[in-house]
Structure 1
Amino acid sequence: MAEKPPISKILNSIKRDPDYASGHHGTDHKVYKPIDCGLGSSPFGYPEEVDLALKQISPNLLNEYPADPYSRGLAGLVRERFGLRKSTSIFFGGTGSYGLLASLLSDVVCVEAIAKGVEVVGVGPQFTNISMLSRRAQIPYHHIAPKIDLPYEEKIDLLIRRRAKATSPAIVYVDNPNNPTGDAVNMDTLYKLTEATAGRDLLIIDEAYGDALPDVSSAFRLADQFEHVVALRSLSKTVGLASPRLGYMAMSGLTAEAYKNLELIFSLDTVTNMIGRAALEPAVLARFLPQVRQMTASAKLNFVRVLNDHGVKTFDSHPSVSILLARAGQDFFNNLLQVGIQTENGQTFKPTHPDMTNRYVRFRIPACEQEAEEIGRRIDDINSKSV
């Protein structure tokens, strides 16, 4: 057998979970007009102040390096919004909260801890990329897999009880609101989880959909108080700015000191920084977010009614979060594709829960009643073909 070329000895051989790529985005249907309920971007736009900021872009700005190389100006806005101490560190990244999560696992966790068997621990189903990012960092990922229809509060309570009894340190990952269900736990539950992990674990709370909830529900305040807590956010979801890929996170104490040594300069380009300054202004969000939450809750209530009326089971989900988990038939994902409806395949989340298959889909809610009703009619078409 021929010897492998030298380059193969230094390249990483880690691959994606096969389930991660089991679905595709976009439909090319000749009968049905495509309806995209797949990616979790907001159907309700973004703050109008962003358009005003974009008008300030000039060729000179694009020709120079960013004037705020570590986005310290944006950090002040985040601290003001959540009432954080000046000593609490806010870090930014240009690949969303997803990129910051990757950096936390690959860069911050030390090789000694990995060698001693530290694991990433979560409760499934959850953001499926946590499995792939853990393997990317060469850290084993272990998920608790309770019944999918168990309320999210009870799932997290199960995690709390297990961590309270644990003797070995772990990286505990929780998404709140949960992806794919859109359900959320309250601050009391997050505080209990924080206490159960204090002094032993690194607790990562991913709030990619967190802007759908009131600010008092945010784990950013926990990151301000406890040095083992890291809270992540993104502008991609409720704020409606998926394209700039602006993510940010809060941490304090020893965890923040460790990340400061690894922070990349110019992690945000000038245009993204300008967008962030407009969108993260506390007064802007105080006006914009309640409107989006109200529109989301109204659209979601109607959409859940439509799905239930057409025989689709929906799972517990917070009213103002734009995603929800649903189930129908043996291959709901591909059946929906056949009638031009794009969703996120439940099979994508299988690395975080063994029961997640293409019977399940994650919907991003449609923006209007007419689109919701059209989805209902197309589900009727699916049902009529299966009779």
Structure 2
Amino acid sequence: MKFNAKMKDIKNYEAGKPIELVVREFGIEPKDIIKLASNENPYGCSSRVSEAVSKIVTKMSLYPDDSMMDLKSGISKRFEVKDENVIIGSGSDQVIEFLIHAKADENSKILMNSITFAMYEIYAKHVGAEILRTTSQSHDLDEFYEIYKKEKPAIIFICTPNNPTGDAIDSQKLFDFLSKIDSNTLVVVDGAYMEYAILKDAKKEVKPKELIEMFENVIYLGTFSKAYGLGGMRVGYGLARTDIIKELYKIRPPFNVTTLSLEAAKVALSDEEFVKNSIVANFSEMKRYEEFVNEQKIDIIDSYTNFVTLCLNPSQNSSQIAGLLLKKGMIVRDLSSYNMNAIRVTVGTKEQNTRFFELIQEIL
């Protein structure tokens, strides 16, 4: 059977290995498996969310409110924008799919960092766009600008904090860069981990309201999958001027976010204390990773997220180490597919992190 020729060069997105698969492959009891591969909130979600969702399970037979008005209103109030500036997707990656299909085609170029979220490239290949990458590992905005001037891409992706490395850009540097970009180039500022960056360093905070007011060609992406602990609910959003949002709505399918997911995200927004406590605990535990890698003489990338990227020594192989950890019930992310000899580890609870230190030390 023949398929779209554009599909030939697309590789499947490599998600973190699920616990259920490790149980089947290695015969390990679920209680003995620790998953630190997908940057989920190790503290779960707000108890308010669980209670609210349990009360509406009887509505599962009905289609969700396709206007998503309650959640839109909550997001717009949080970021001090209008409801018309908001689009909600099944995860922020669905919004990425919308905007690429709305803006790009086989004659377009899309610029992104050398190492960044894999779905930018995958969705770009859906439409046959040419992919441009920087050479630097971190977001070097001077290099971005030089490529932009030469190639005039249709879309530029800026992921801050960046996944899978964890580094972040000073907001002033980002705004200076955006001021030099032509209004016909769509710039995507992906802030999936922004809640973490804000608490660690105020200079990294990117405020969507300022982006929308200052730049007509920028869209900001956020998610409920990380700090809010709703990875399993799949809710993300985009914030931009109304002309951009209107174009994305032409692509959005009806009922793309479930009733339970909409309720969960709406209630999660109201529990700021849970989110703050999760982030404070995250950075407290991250200090333990920083101390550990110093002892082990392993490089670590300064992280503004809920994960750390450990860059291994040449004598150590990330795939081999990740595989050995997996056999012991510890799931981490091998970054060899990004051409990095590194592993990405979600910062877990105190007990989970202690177990990681024990196992990695044995292996090293």
* Fold match by TM threshold 0.5: yes
**8 Å Cα contact 1:190/1:219 also seen in 2:** no
Residue correspondence of structure 1 range 23-62 to structure 2 within 5 A: 24=17, 26=19, 27=22, 33-59=32-58, 61-62=59-60
CA 1:135–1:197 in 2, change beyond 3 Å: closer, same or farther?
Answer: same
Instruction: Specify the SS of the correspondent of 1:317.
Output: coil
One-letter code aligned to 1:367: T
CA 1:264–1:70 in 2, change beyond 3 Å: closer, same or farther?
Answer: farther
One-letter code aligned to 1:316: D
Deviation at 1:15, TM superposition (A): 4.7
1:362 correspondence with 2:360: no
Match of 1:3 in 2: none
Q: CA RMSD in A?
A: 2.7
Match of 2:208 among 211, 220, 228: 220
**8 Å Cα contact 1:307/1:313 also seen in 2:** yes
Match of 2:70 in 1: 73
Instruction: Specify the SS of the correspondent of 1:204.
Output: strand
CA–CA separation in structure 2 for the residues paired with 1:9 and 1:40? 34
Match of 1:143 among 125, 133, 144: 133
Instruction: Specify the SS of the correspondent of 1:65.
Output: coil
Match of 1:4 in 2: none
One-letter code aligned to 2:99: L
Instruction: Return the TM-score normalized by structure 1.
Output: 0.81
Residue correspondence of structure 1 range 255-334 to structure 2 within 5 A: 255-281=244-270, 284-285=271-272, 287-318=273-304, 321-328=305-312, 329-334=315-320
Instruction: Return the TM-score normalized by structure 2.
Output: 0.86
1:17 correspondence with 2:11: yes
CA 1:9–1:267 in 2, change beyond 3 Å: closer, same or farther?
Answer: closer
Match of 1:254 in 2: 243
- Any gaps of 5 or more consecutive residues in structure 2? none
**8 Å Cα contact 2:7/2:126 also seen in 1:** no
Deviations along 1:112-167, one digit per CA (max 9) or x if unpaired, are: xx43xx21101121112221111112111111021x3xxx46x234324543x346
Match of 1:159 in 2: 144
Instruction: Specify the SS of the correspondent of 1:8.
Output: coil
One-letter code aligned to 2:89: G
**8 Å Cα contact 1:231/1:250 also seen in 2:** yes
Percent of pairs with identical residues: 18
- Any gaps of 5 or more consecutive residues in structure 1? 1-6, 350-355
**8 Å Cα contact 1:123/1:143 also seen in 2:** yes
**8 Å Cα contact 2:43/2:349 also seen in 1:** yes
Deviation at 1:23, TM superposition (A): 8.2
CA–CA separation in structure 1 for the residues paired with 2:5 and 2:345? 37
CA–CA separation in structure 2 for the residues paired with 1:62 and 1:9? 35
1:184 correspondence with 2:168: yes
CA 1:311–1:214 in 2, change beyond 3 Å: closer, same or farther?
Answer: closer
1:93 correspondence with 2:89: yes
Deviations along 1:306-326, one digit per CA (max 9) or x if unpaired, are: 2331232211222xx111211
